[in-house]
Chain A
Amino acid sequence: MATQAPPASTNTPTDAPDAIVVRFAGDSGDGMQLTGGQFTLSTALAGNDLATFPDFPAEIRAPQGTLFGVSAFQINFGSRAINTAGDAPDVLVAMNPAALKVNLAALKPGGLVIADTGEFTKRNLDKAKYDANPLEDDSLAPYDVLAFDISARTLEAVEPFGLGKKDGLRCKNMWTLGLALWMFDRPREPLHDWLNRKFAKAPDIAAANIAALDAGHAYGETAELSAPLKQVHLPPAPSEPGLYRTITGAEAVSLGLVAGAQLAELPMFFGGYPITPASAILHHLARLKEYGVTTFQAEDEIAAVCAAIGASYAGQLGVTSSSGPGIALKTEALGLGIMTELPLVVVNSQRGGPSTGLPTKTEQSDLYQAVYGRNGDAPMPVIAARSPADAFEVAIEACRLATQYMTPVMLLTDGYIANAAEPWKVPDPDSFEPFPAKFLEEPRGEELLPYKRDEKGSRPWIKPGTPGMMHRIGGIEKDANTGNISYDPANHQHMTDTRKNKIANIEVPDQEVAWGEQTGKLAVVGWGSTYGPIKQAVRRSQDKGCSVSHIHIRHIWPLPKNLGELLSGFDRVLVPEMNTGQLKTVLRDQLLVDAESLTKTSGQPFQIAELEEAICAYFDGVQGNEGGQVAANDQQLPSTVESE
């Protein structure tokens, strides 16, 4: 095991770093997401903890070489616990001038740039709006640079396979991956296996890609002597014993839904309509028919949710999924689900808004929509996943709430969680408590009363097809017992209160402190994908002596019953969110707590550093520093020219 100096660091201590951030950036046609995904897998197999951040443009094939066509994949991995994709990369792989231009600002001072000179042509430099070749002037002086003709070397490597120039160049990403594998001392065999499987029908292509991969790896060995390139070995991160795999949020939601339906002992019906970044869930579930899953690609978002409601009415677990604009379209149907009190799971993979907004960028700005965004008094439970792996359990919880309380449930994830991957300790399915759904097959008393509730406030679930139980339901206000149409004023008052109380009284686990003491000066309260950066920032601030704790909320509506009391143990409450302060509003409204906002809506996750700065501001502020709004750092992970 060779522990060596970190890459690209002549002016830092020579001991091995415990974590490294690498960003692969190239044209959206360069296969950077694939490269990143495979590098992630090899990282996981090496036992490092990791977090990733795929960042790609909304255009599928933006014009080649342009700034807005740059696609990037960042991975943070280490021999200690990793919670975020990392603030700033140590290594930037830039496959063309545009990728360099867009991503350079994020690179750590002294970081390493690996660039493909073959792509730094006059034409590409023009497209990237460079007046001069940055590899040739001193504009990269603050960094270590390893620039050579990756394109030419790739073509050399694949020459024996008779691919044309165009096809040959498509192996560039594998050449680069080979180099990265060498840098971090990773075995190539799993990649060979993967390529052979992927191109099983085209052995020549498989062989060419393998040759490119091997050539990149071999290049590392020879270049080491003369270049700023160093091989680094990070020992595995200590983690709980068990079986692990990597998982993205979209996969975790899909698997959690499958597990949840099994725990409810119901077949699942999933109605979806293509939308970024939610489609991946529909893709995953479409392949799981043997688990009792029916997927339905509907004509629109409305039909997707309505078909799911129809399936729930007929006795399956109806599920639908979308992102903000699609959820807006489903809203009227959610009201129908609330009125008819049928189970329904709604997954919102949030993205930047409003309107079409930023389809491929992450945001948490649909919390108001989830909690308040329907006509009439129409409450439904809202829960949020904090990380890709956490999404599995949260999806199970959504299925439990929907079937036990006969209600639609909103599960919030976001674009970051949906696409990002992290190691996941594979759970034992038997470790989850089953919650079998019950159908009413004969009247509870003399009369059939489809709206007569149980002790939880839930009405019975009666499947059409059940003999002697015929009844009618619909969106018109219903009588409290029979469910027949009722315009009676007292009945509407009663039903409005009943629907409100049913949701308000849902049993939610008590809120725990994620990190830190139970009381103190400052509570940092988060929800959703800000978990990683908040946790790290709170830890670092604690190390500096700040009395700060991290509280992360899964159940947003209704809130855990003890949350008010818990927060009252802190002098101040700071709520960092990727929106303009939505959870803050809910906390103030529900708990009368003086919560303050730290907001960011750049389409990029929070950096640890900016959170740390905001936290420390409370403690530095002896002279009346009120804390609060700290300007977000938009330089982090820029991926488009606009965000520069």
Chain B
Amino acid sequence: MNAPVKIETTLKDWETDQEVRWCPGCGDYAILKAVQRTLPQLGSDPANTVFISGIGCSSRFPYYIESYGFHTIHGRAPAVATGVKLANPDLDVWLVTGDGDGLSIGGNHMMHVLRRNVNMQIMLFNNEIYGLTKGQYSPTSREGTRTPTSPIGSVDHPANPCAFALGSGARFVARGIDVSKNLPDVLKAAHAHQGAAFVEIFQNCIVYNKDVFDAFAAPKGAEGQQLWLADGEPMLFDKGTKGLAFDAEKLAFTVVDVVDGDWQAAGVRVHDVKNRVMAHMLAELPFDPFPMPLGVLYDDPAPTYESAVIAEREASVSGKEANLAKLLSGGQTWTVDGSAQDPV
């Protein structure tokens, strides 16, 4: 793989002439802007960038980014993207999916793209609902969600996208919020990670699941509800007055008060993005009484799938010549001459 050439672009360069068709006020707009803001900062080249999506509101995303784009079929974007990366590992691939696309119909492909560790950024827009099909409950909908298909409340237990990603073997797992000013930083971290980088983005579907994340996503009181993680930094929230400590007895986190900024005295733990066990605990941390952990939960790179495929190919090809005529006449052969009455 060649080192990507950084080129200079502006946000405008990443806008297409296509009319954006999301509902006014949809969280997707904020994510689109955050991505269009991030790409110039990364020095990305539109000609070398491919956005690949499945089906759903989120999956319309590629039409609105001035790069290469492939709007595929429901749930299958990870498989298409795997083929793209194996055919041309130099392409910078962003995968756009949703909770229905990525965790229901495409849950299997999501698991495998993560465990194989194909180098791409995966943005899963989680709005806990099927938007494009008009508001049915999704695999991340909380129990009791009332929708046309669950008129008296859903009874399914919801899936936890980050826990699923970790369980599938992901080496990078992060969380963001559509309207958060921190989202570009999360996306940059995902891009810097070599391998499959999984980012769950809480996205407000204002039509079918309005403000479902308000408890922690609403700007008012956010400090008290959002725990923004940073590698090597103490896990503090609520303006540094609270933190997460580890209760070794219970093998669980607890919320502790931090007095006068002395987080060490309060026993607050320092976030370590390479600690997989901690990442699992953070991914599963139940919101309220705990804050919502956001930012990079886990980042511990491992060799990518395509690099392993290339290395294996190079090793098995070395010293062999690709002679088609020889290949065709492989195995045991015999010659029939003009008269051809006796075996050779």
- Which A positions have Cβ atoms within 8 angstroms of B? 41, 44-47, 190, 235-236, 238-246, 255, 258-259, 262, 267, 269, 271, 288-292, 294, 296, 298-300, 302-304, 306-316, 318, 332-333, 335-336, 340, 426-429, 463-476, 484-485
Q: Least Cβ distance of B333 to chain A in Å?
A: 5
Asked if B333 contacts A290 (CB within 8 A), the reply is no
B67 shortest CB reach to chain A, Å = 5
Task: Find residues 65-86 in chain B having any chain A CB closer than 8 Å to their own CB.
Answer: 66-73, 76, 78-86
Distance of B206 from chain A, by nearest CB (Å) = 23
User: A485 contacts B63, CB within 8 Å?
Assistant: yes
User: Are B108 and A45 in contact, CB atoms less than 8 angstroms apart?
Assistant: no
Contact of A470 with B46 at beta-carbon distance under 8 Å, contacts A46-B343, A288-B327, A314-B87 already known: yes
With a CB–CB cut-off of 8 A, which chain B residues contact A312? Answer: 83, 87
- B248 contacts the other chain (CB 8 A): no
Chain B minimum-CB-distance residue to A259 = B324
A239–B332 touching, CB < 8 Å: no
Do A255 and B80 form a contact, CB below 8 Å, given A315-B87, A475-B71, A485-B18?
no
Query: Knowing that A310-B84, A470-B67 are A-B contacts, what are 17 other residue pairs whose CB atoms are under 8 Å apart, sorted by A's residue number?
Result: A44-B332, A236-B340, A243-B334, A245-B330, A245-B334, A255-B328, A269-B87, A294-B309, A296-B83, A310-B80, A314-B88, A336-B73, A464-B88, A466-B47, A468-B47, A474-B70, A474-B71
CB 8 Å contact bits of B249-268 with A (1 = contact, 0 = none): 00000000000000000000
Contact A45 B332 (CB under 8 A): yes
B324 → chain A, closest Cβ, in Å? 4
How far apart are the CA atoms of A291 and B312 in the complex, in Å?
14
The answer to the question of B33 belonging to the interface, with a C-beta cut-off of 8 Å to chain A, is no
> How far, in whole Å, are A474 and B70 apart by their CA atoms in the complex?
5
Residues 44-76 of B at the A interface (beta carbon under 8 Å): 46-48, 50, 52, 55, 62-63, 66-73, 76
22 A-B residue pairings within 8 Å (CB atoms): A235-B342, A269-B86, A289-B312, A291-B327, A294-B86, A299-B108, A303-B82, A304-B79, A306-B79, A306-B109, A307-B82, A308-B83, A311-B83, A333-B76, A464-B48, A464-B50, A465-B47, A465-B68, A466-B47, A470-B67, A472-B69, A473-B69
Count of B interface residues, CB-CB < 8 Å: 63
Residue in A240, A289, A472, A475 whose beta carbon sits within 8 Å of that of B317 in the complex: A289
When A and B form their complex, which 3 residue pairs have the shortest distance between CB atoms, in order from nearest?
A310-B83, A474-B71, A307-B83
Contacting residue for B88 out of A300, A315, A429, A474, CB 8 A: A315
Q: For the complex, what is the distance from the CA of A430 to the CA of B46, rounded to whole Å? A: 40
Q: Is the CB of B322 within 8 A of A291?
A: yes
Which residues of chain B are within 8 angstroms of A47 by Cβ–Cβ distance? 334, 336, 340, 342-344
B316 at the interface (CB under 8 A from A): yes
* C-alpha spacing A473/B63, complex, angstroms: 8
**Quick one: which of A267, A333, A429, A472 has the most chain B CB within 10 A?**
A472
Q: B71, B112, B320, B338: which contacts A290 (Cβ < 8 A)?
A: B320
Contact in complex: B83, A271 (CB < 8 Å): yes
Instruction: Give complex CA distance A604, B332 in Å.
Output: 29
Interface string of B230-248 (1 = CB under 8 A from A): 0000000000000000000
Nearest A residue (CB) for B109: A303
Contact A303 B309 (CB under 8 A): no
A258 near B327 (CB under 8 angstroms)?
yes
B109: chain A residues at CB < 8 Å are 299, 302-303, 306
Q: Which residues of A contact B112 (CB under 8 A)?
A: 298-299, 303
Q: Which A residues are in CB contact (< 8 Å) with B133?
A: none
Q: Is A465 within 8 A of B86, CB to CB? A: no
- Rounded to whole Å, the gap between the CB of A1 and the closest CB of chain B is 9
Q: Are A190 and B18 in contact (CB under 8 A)?
A: no
Please measure, in the bound complex, the distance between the C-alpha atom of A300 and the C-alpha atom of B108, giving whole angstroms.
9
Contacts of B84 in A (CB 8 A): 310-311, 313-314, 464
Least distance between B13 CB and chain A CB atoms (Å):
10
Interchain CA distance A471-B309 in the complex, whole Å: 29
Q: How close is A286's CB to chain B, nearest CB, in angstroms?
A: 10
Cα–Cα distance between A298 and B317 once the two chains are bound (Å): 22
